[in-house]
Amino acid sequence: MPSPSISEGTVIVTGASSGIGHAVCRRLKSAGRSLITVDIGEQPPDLDVEQHFVCDLGTESEINELVEALVDDFDLHLVSSLINVAGVPGTQPAMKVLEVNVLAVRQLSRSLAPHLRSGSSIVNVGSISGNGWQERVEIYRSLLELSNSDAREWWNDRNKSIGVDPYTFSKEAVIVWSMLHAGELRGTGIRCNVLSPGPVETPLLPTFREQIGDDRIDWVLSHSGRAAKADEIAQAIEWLAIGESGWVNGHHLVADGGYTSGLLSGWVDVENAPVAKVTHVD
């Protein structure tokens, strides 16, 4: 029997049990895709998946075990996309924010990419909180050259003096990582892109209000009109992962209802913006 084509391949999704990750999985199932899901929690009862892995992506040893199981138990040459949705808010300790939002994404992507085939894709999830990545791009380039252990040491030394809160830093870093990884994958036929949503109606939105502040969140929403539905963000992720986006690579796609366009073109009045709350948890 011939192997499934990329257009029929299995998709690996992290953070699959709630919020945006769950919405992505629902869309992929509707598109007829087989799923391998990863989450710190159990598989949602409404998702029929090929395999679900419970994994704490803030623990490197658990990621190593996950990768080993994926490589040993599945033909990853049949996987068409890895979608890294899992993330934690800035109300978590600073080290955990770096571990889950940056180091886990890098470790999974680098570990699994050699087993994927030409035509497959990697999609990471950033945030509009990371829109300022260009101001610190050289910092991220230097950080992302380090091993995990050296990156942790770097973060321990600098996370209170870097100039932005840990969540913003992590999302800027994952945007830069996605672009760098697209370069690393040159010649393989594997694409890497990153999708940055604005505020989204998920169970985590109250936590982000706690992290950033109600006034700031409401000000952003006054320009985008409303918070996104999880499925609206999943639409964009699905397009990058398995849609007709074959020449889109190393791209940072923003899905925020137009808010960022207002910042860039000037129709958002930032002078009267409420100051965002700075949340840093040791």
Please check whether residue 278 lies inside any domain of the structure.
no
In order of 54, 55, 91, 128, 189, the CA distances from 15 in angstroms are 10, 10, 17, 19, 26
pLDDT value for 45: 86
pLDDT tens sequence for the chain (282 residues): 344 567 689 999 999 999 999 999 999 999 999 999 999 999 988 999 999 999 999 999 999 999 999 999 999 999 999 999 999 999 999 999 999 999 999 999 999 999 999 999 999 999 999 999 999 999 999 999 999 999 999 999 999 999 999 999 999 999 999 999 999 999 999 999 999 999 999 999 999 999 999 999 999 999 999 999 999 999 999 999 999 999 999 999 999 999 999 999 999 999 999 999 999 999
CATH at 135: 3.40.50.720
Please check whether residue 112 lies inside any domain of the structure.
yes
Please check whether residue 263 lies inside any domain of the structure.
no
Residue numbers of the domain that contains 216: 6-256
Please check whether residue 77 lies inside any domain of the structure.
yes
Please check whether residue 137 lies inside any domain of the structure.
yes
CA-nearest of 272, 252, 257 to 123 is 252
Which H or E run contains 158? helix 148-158
Structurally, how many domains does the chain consist of? 1
Question: Cβ–Cβ contacts within 10 Å for residue 246, how many?
Answer: 11
Please check whether residue 276 lies inside any domain of the structure.
no
Please check whether residue 88 lies inside any domain of the structure.
yes
Please check whether residue 261 lies inside any domain of the structure.
no
Q: Are 89 and 204 in contact (CB under 8 A)?
A: yes
Can you say whether the dihedral through the CA atoms of 164, 89, 10, 33 is positive or negative? negative
Whether this model's pTM surpasses 0.75? yes
In order of 21, 204, 214, the CA distances from 209 in angstroms are 20, 9, 5
